[in-house]
Amino acid sequence: MLYLVGLGLADETDITVRGLEIVKRAERVYLEAYTSILLVDKEKLEAFHGRSVIEADRELVETGSNDILAGGDKADIVFLVVGDPFGATTHTDLVLRARELGIETRVVPNASIMSGIGCTGLQLYNFGQTVSMVFFTETWKPSSYYDRVRENVQTGLHTLVLLDIKVKEQSLENMARGRRIFEPPRYMTVAQCAAQMLETEEERKEGVYGPDSLAVGAARVGAANQKLVSGTLKELSTVEMGAPLHSLVLLGRRTHDLERDYIREYAVNKETFDASYVKGYGASL
C-alpha cells in the first residue's frame, strides 16, 4: 500500500493518530520537501515518529517515483506531505503511477492552508479561486494570477494567495553548466507579495485592486507563534512578519461586518483600515 499522509501545518505533533500509526509500521517513509516545509527540522520529526525519514525533493518525486514506489505491492510505503496531501498542492501524479504498477493507495488527510486560513476570521465559503505568487525576476514577472484575482473581485470574493518558496533550486548558470550547486532556500514574505501585486497592477492598469485595497497577511498558520496582520496592500508591502511560511488574503467587497470586526483587531492602523473599508467593502453573507 502507498499511503499519502498529511502532516498538518506546524510541527511534528500535528500528524493524526491514524497517520502516526501508519508511519510507525511502514517499511519506508518519505518526506516531500519541495512544495512546503514543516516548521521544525527533519531530525525533530524523526525523533517524534520514532524512525528515519527519507527527504524527497522535486527531482526524486518527479523523475524517481519508481524508487519511491518500489516494493509497494508487498509492503507499506508512506509519503508524508506538509498540510494535506490533496490540499494546496496535489500529488495525484504519484497516485496515478502507483495505480499503473498495481499498488493500492490510501490518503490520510490533515489540515492545510486551504482550511487553516480560516484563522483570519474570514468565512471559508466566501473565498474564490486560490492563486500562487512566484518570485519576480528582472526579466520574468508573470501576471496570470491577476486574471484569477479579477474574477474573484468581480464576484466580491476573497482571494487566498499562496507564496513562493525556493528549496534546492539551481541558478541558471549552474544549471547550464551541469553543476549540482544549489541556492540558499528562499521564502516569500507577505511584504514581497503585496509589493509584487502592486507592481502587477501598475503594469496592467485594470483597477482590479490598488494600494488602498485591504488584505490580511498570515504567518506560520497553526503554530504557537502564528501572526496575523491586516491593512492596505501599501501597508502590508512594508510589514515585517518574521519567519516563514507566509500567506496573504485579498479581501472581497462582500466582506461581512463580522469578518471586518475580527480582522480589524490586528490592523496595522485602525484608522486607515476603517477608511479603506468604508470605500468599497461590506455586504451581507
pLDDT at 34: 75
Output 150 or 168, whichever has higher pLDDT: 150
Asked if residue 25 and residue 145 are part of one domain, the reply reads no
Shared-domain flag, residues 105 and 118: no
Among 64, 89, 111, where does a domain finish? 111
Q: Does 87 appear as a known binding residue?
A: yes
Local confidence band at 284 (pLDDT 50, 70, 90 cut-offs): very low
Asked if 178 and 267 sit in the same domain, the reply is yes
Supply the mean pLDDT for the chain: 92
* CATH number of the domain residue 30 falls in: 3.40.1010.10
Q: Which three cell numbers stand for residue 280?
A: 468599497
Same domain for 98 and 121, yes or no, is no
User: Binding site annotation covers 112?
Assistant: yes
Q: Which residues contact 201 (CB under 8 A, 6 or more apart)?
A: 146, 207, 208, 209, 210
Considering the domain architecture, whether residues 106 and 218 belong to the same structural domain is answered as no
Report whether 113 belongs to an annotated binding site. Answer: yes
| Residue numbers of the domain that contains 72 | 2-111
* Last-in-domain residue among 111, 135, 152: 111
Find out whether 285 is annotated in a ligand binding site.
Answer: no
pLDDT tens string 249-259: 999 999 999 99
CA atoms of 31 and 95, how far apart (whole Å): 16
What crossing angle do the helices spanning 270-280 and 257-264 adopt, rounded to 10°?
Answer: 160
| N residues, the chain | 285
Other beta carbons within 10 angstroms of residue 135's beta carbon come to 17
221 is in an annotated binding site: yes
Q: Do 201 and 241 belong to one domain?
A: yes
CATH code at position 136: 3.30.950.10
The annotation status of 250 as a binding-site residue, yes or no, is no
The tens digit of pLDDT for each residue in 191-246 reads 999 999 999 999 999 999 999 999 999 999 999 999 999 999 999 999 999 999 99
pTM value is 0.92
Distance CA 157, CA 274 (A): 19
Listed residues 111, 128, 153: the one ending a domain: 111
Looking at the structure, do residues 24 and 104 belong to the same domain, yes or no?
A: yes
- Split into its structural domains, the chain has a count of 2
pLDDT value at position 151? 98
Whether residue 69 sits in one domain with residue 209: no
**Annotated binding-site residue? 158:** no
Cβ–Cβ < 8 Å for 181, 172: no
Query: Quick check: 181 pLDDT over 70?
Result: no
Under DSSP, the state recorded for 136 is P
Same domain assignment for residues 65 and 204: no
